[in-house]
C-alpha cells in the first residue's frame, strides 16, 4: 500500500500540500511525520507520527486500511 507522506519540522503547519493531494487523489489514509506526539485525525484519515519513526515506517509494512484508533 502506498500512502502520501508529509514531513513537518515545526509544531505549526497547515498541511496545504497534503490536503490538495488528498482532494485530488483521495487516498485511504495519509501520514504526517512531525516533531510532536502521535495522533489521528480520523475525520481526514490522517495519522501523525514522530519524525524518528520515519526510518522504520516502510520496514514494518504498516497498513492503515485495517487501522484501529486504539492502537496509536
What are the extents of the domains in the chain? 5-58
pLDDT for the residue numbered 17: 92
How many Å from the N-terminal Cα to the C-terminal Cα in the chain?
19
Are 47 and 64 a contacting pair, CB within 8 Å?
A: yes
Look over the chain and give the mean of its residue pLDDT values, rounded to a whole number.
Answer: 84
Q: What is the pTM of this model?
A: 0.80
Quickly count: other Cβ atoms within 10 Å of residue 4's Cβ.
15
Does pLDDT of 68 surpass 80?
A: no
Assign 70 a pLDDT band (cuts: 50, 70, 90).
low
Residue 62's φ and ψ, nearest 5 degrees, are -70, 135
Alpha helix ranges (H) inside 1-72: 16-25, 54-57
Amino acid at each position: 500500500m502506498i500512502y502520501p507522506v508529509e514531513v513537518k519540522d515545526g509544531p505549526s503547519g497547515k498541511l496545504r500540500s497534503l490536503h490538495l493531494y488528498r482532494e485530488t487523489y483521495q487516498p485511504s489514509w495519509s501520514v504526517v511525520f512531525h516533531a510532536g506526539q502521535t495522533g489521528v485525525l480520523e475525520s481526514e484519515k490522517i495519522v501523525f507520527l514522530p519524525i524518528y519513526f520515519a526510518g522504520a515506517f516502510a520496514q514494518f509494512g504498516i497498513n492503515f486500511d485495517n487501522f484501529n484508533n486504539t492502537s496509536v
